[in-house]
């Protein structure tokens, strides 16, 4: 059980598209928009958990064509989301300020987030501590995972909102938004390319 808790901590605290985009939404749009997006990420990550636990994710990802479609959809969606974060708060006349990502965006991100599948597959297929009672083990894992997930993601949202509250110059805030968007894309690229190499 202790090894499971440590694995959850280390797998969740490392930056992925979810936490980076959450910090970006907090920095670009504030706490209220970030909290809505956080709810979507939470619902989405639990959908991924259920897909991993039931074997649906393994079934879907076993088909190469489905994997390619999901990878392309993931890249396109994350590029769009990163552009929304990067362009938030700019005052360029030809760019209309986009609305903040919401609950639906958080759910979609987690469903196509490669890190979400890797983390959940690792956590739910390994670290057995109640082999004789798998349903109880899964329930405990879900409770521990969700408790730690919420804590870590609230911290990342707070970091993003704290950057916003610093009331930085527009140019500096724009650079931070762009940096967060680029970091999110870099993490996604690494997660997507790693299994192929």
Give 101-148 pLDDT, tens digit per residue: 899 999 998 988 877 887 888 888 888 888 888 889 899 999 999 999
Number of domain units in the chain: 1
At residue 147, the pLDDT reads: 95
Query: CB neighbours of 185 closer than 8 A, spacing ≥ 6?
Result: 78, 79, 82
Q: How far apart are CA 192 and CA 56, in angstroms?
A: 20
Structure-derived torsion over alpha carbons of residues 77, 25, 145, 103, reported in degrees to the nearest 10: -70
Running DSSP on this structure, what letter comes out for residue 96? P
pTM: 0.76
Coil, strand or helix at 99: coil
Contact in structure between 109 and 17 (CB atoms under 8 Å): yes
Contact in structure between 30 and 162 (CB atoms under 8 Å): no
Closest C-alpha to 113, from 192, 193, 28, 9:
192
- Within a domain: residue 120? yes
- Within a domain: residue 49? yes
Q: How many CB atoms sit inside 10 A of residue 144's CB?
A: 15
- Within a domain: residue 107? yes
Mean pLDDT over each residue of the chain, to the nearest integer? 81
- Within a domain: residue 37? yes
At residue 127, the pLDDT reads: 80
Residue 42 has pLDDT above 80, yes or no: yes
- Within a domain: residue 73? yes
Rounded to the nearest angstrom, the gap between the alpha carbon of residue 94 and the centroid of all alpha carbons in its chain is 30
Enclosing domain of residue 58: 2-6+15-191
Q: How far apart are CA 116 and CA 112, in angstroms?
A: 8
Q: In this predicted model, what pLDDT tens digit does every residue of 142-172 receive, in sequence order?
A: 999 999 999 999 999 999 899 878 877 878 8
- Within a domain: residue 169? yes
Q: How far apart are CA 24 and CA 100, in angstroms?
A: 10
- Within a domain: residue 197? no
Closest C-alpha to 120, from 38, 46, 33, 195:
46
- Within a domain: residue 196? no
At residue 96, the pLDDT reads: 44
């Amino acid at each position: 059980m202790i090894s499971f808790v440590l694995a959850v901590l280390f797998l969740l605290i490392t930056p992925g598209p979810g936490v980076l985009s959450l910090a970006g939404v907090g920095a670009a749009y504030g706490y209220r928009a970030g909290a809505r997006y956080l709810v979507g990420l939470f619902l989405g990550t639990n959908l991924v958990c259920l897909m991993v636990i039931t074997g649906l994710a393994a079934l879907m990802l076993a088909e190469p064509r489905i994997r390619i479609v999901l990878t392309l959809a993931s890249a396109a969606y994350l590029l769009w989301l990163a552009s929304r974060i990067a362009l938030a708060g700019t005052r360029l006349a030809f760019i209309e300020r986009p609305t903040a990502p919401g609950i639906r965006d958080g759910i979609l991100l987690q469903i196509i987030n490669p890190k979400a599948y890797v983390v959940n597959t690792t956590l739910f297929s390994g670290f057995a501590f109640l082999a004789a009672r798998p349903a109880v083990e899964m329930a405990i894992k879900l409770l521990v995972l969700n408790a730690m997930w919420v804590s870590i993601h609230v911290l990342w949202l707070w970091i993003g909102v704290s950057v916003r509250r610093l009331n930085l110059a527009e140019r500096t805030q724009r650079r931070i938004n762009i940096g967060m968007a680029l970091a999110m894309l870099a993490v996604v690229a690494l997660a997507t390319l790693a299994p192929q190499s």
